[in-house]
Structure formats: structure tokens, C-alpha cells
Amino acid sequence: MSNKTGNNQSDRHLVEKVLGGDTDAFGMIIRNTEGLVAQIVFKMISNAEDRKDLAQEVYLKAFQGLPRFKFNAKLSTWIAQITYNSCSSYLVKKKLVLPGYGPGGEEWDEEPGYDTEMLVVQKELSSILSAAIEDLSPVFKTLITLYHNEELSYEEIGQITGLPQGTIKSYLFRARKALKDRLLLKYKKEGL
């Protein structure tokens, strides 16, 4: 609990500095959140040029919205929410319907002691898993990344995506099942 309070104090201090005209403080905010922003953008957007534009748009929106930031969540969660919403808007605007949803916005189901040798096997398995994750819908990829890579709670993911916690749990279950099914189907013959 004290760590969350400490983060909130640090966030408050940075925001106050930015609002006071300290541009270096906003640079610190960017450095503190760029990994999370990149994870979301890379999982949701496939075009490299659009990724750069979206990342810039996210930080412009964050800078412009900073005076209205209420500290109801961590600053990084708030910026991640801006990122997710910007990516979702981009996909809708480009008429790239969010996989996981139908054209009318309705939900639909996805189909479904280390030694050198061990390190090579682990790297290979990690590569296979990463490739399988990339085949998931943008929403499922993002949720898997936020939960497993960024280790965010259901509550934080809900704040970012605007999805209810029950939906997040359901989507994570379905995403894991889709991964398992795809991996078993694709690599069953190879003994995975």
C-alpha cells in the first residue's frame, strides 16, 4: 500500500513540475511510461509508421490533458488508457474492426541450472509463443501483454481498456485457450 502511495506522490510531484513549466519533468514521464505505451501500440497496430504517429499522439494528448488528471489512478495507468483508446480509435477510423468484436461492435469468439541446450530450447519456445501471440486479435494480444508481461492487475487493465473485470478475465481465458489450441494444432507433430 505504501508503494502505491509513494508512486502517487512521485506522480503528483512530476505533474506539478510539468504544470509549472518544467519540460524536463514531462521527459521523465515519457521515460517512465514509454515501455508500457510501446507494448500497447505494438500489440494493437501493425503499421510501423502509424505506431510512431500514435505514440506521439498519445504523449500530446497526455500533455494537453495533464491539468485535468485527478490522480484516481497511477499516472502510467492513465497514459496507458490514453494509448489504448487512441489505438482503438485508430483501428475504427481505418475501418480495421477490432478483432474480438463484430462490425456492429458485438462480441464474437476467436477460433481457435541452465545449460546451453536448455537456453536454446527456452529461446525457441519463447519465440514460438511470441509468434502465436502475434496471431491473436489486437485486444487479446494487448490483454495478454498487460497481464503477463507488464504484470498489471485486472483493475488496472480495466482502467486502461474500459472493460469490466469479468470481461477481462473472460478474454484472458479465451486468449490463453486460443494460444493453447493453436500451439497444439501447429506443433503437435513436432512433439511440443
**Which tens digit of pLDDT belongs to each residue from 16-29?**
998 898 888 898 99
pLDDT confidence bin for 121, thresholds 50/70/90 = low
Question: What pLDDT, in 10s, does the model give residues 32-69?
Answer: 999 999 988 888 888 888 888 889 899 999 998 989 88
Sequence-separated (6 or more) residues with CB below 8 Å from residue 160: 40, 77, 80, 81, 83, 84, 146, 152
Q: Is there a domain that residue 103 lies in?
A: no
pTM for the model: 0.59
Q: Is residue 137 part of a domain?
A: yes
Q: Is residue 51 part of a domain?
A: yes
Amino acid 3: pLDDT = 44
Are 81 and 127 in a shared domain? no
Convert the pLDDT of each residue in 149-186 to its tens digit: 788 889 999 998 899 999 999 999 998 888 888 777 77
Round the average pLDDT of the chain to a whole number and report it: 77
Strand partners, 107: 101
- Do 73 and 31 belong to one domain? yes
In a domain, 129, yes or no: yes
Examine the domain organization and report whether 7 and 71 are in the same domain: yes
**Domain hosting residue 185, numbered range:** 116-190
Do residues 85 and 124 share a domain?
no
Structurally, how many domains does the chain consist of? 2
Decide if pLDDT at 88 tops 70.
yes
Q: Do 83 and 14 lie in a common domain? A: yes
CATH number, domain of 58, equals 1.10.1740.10
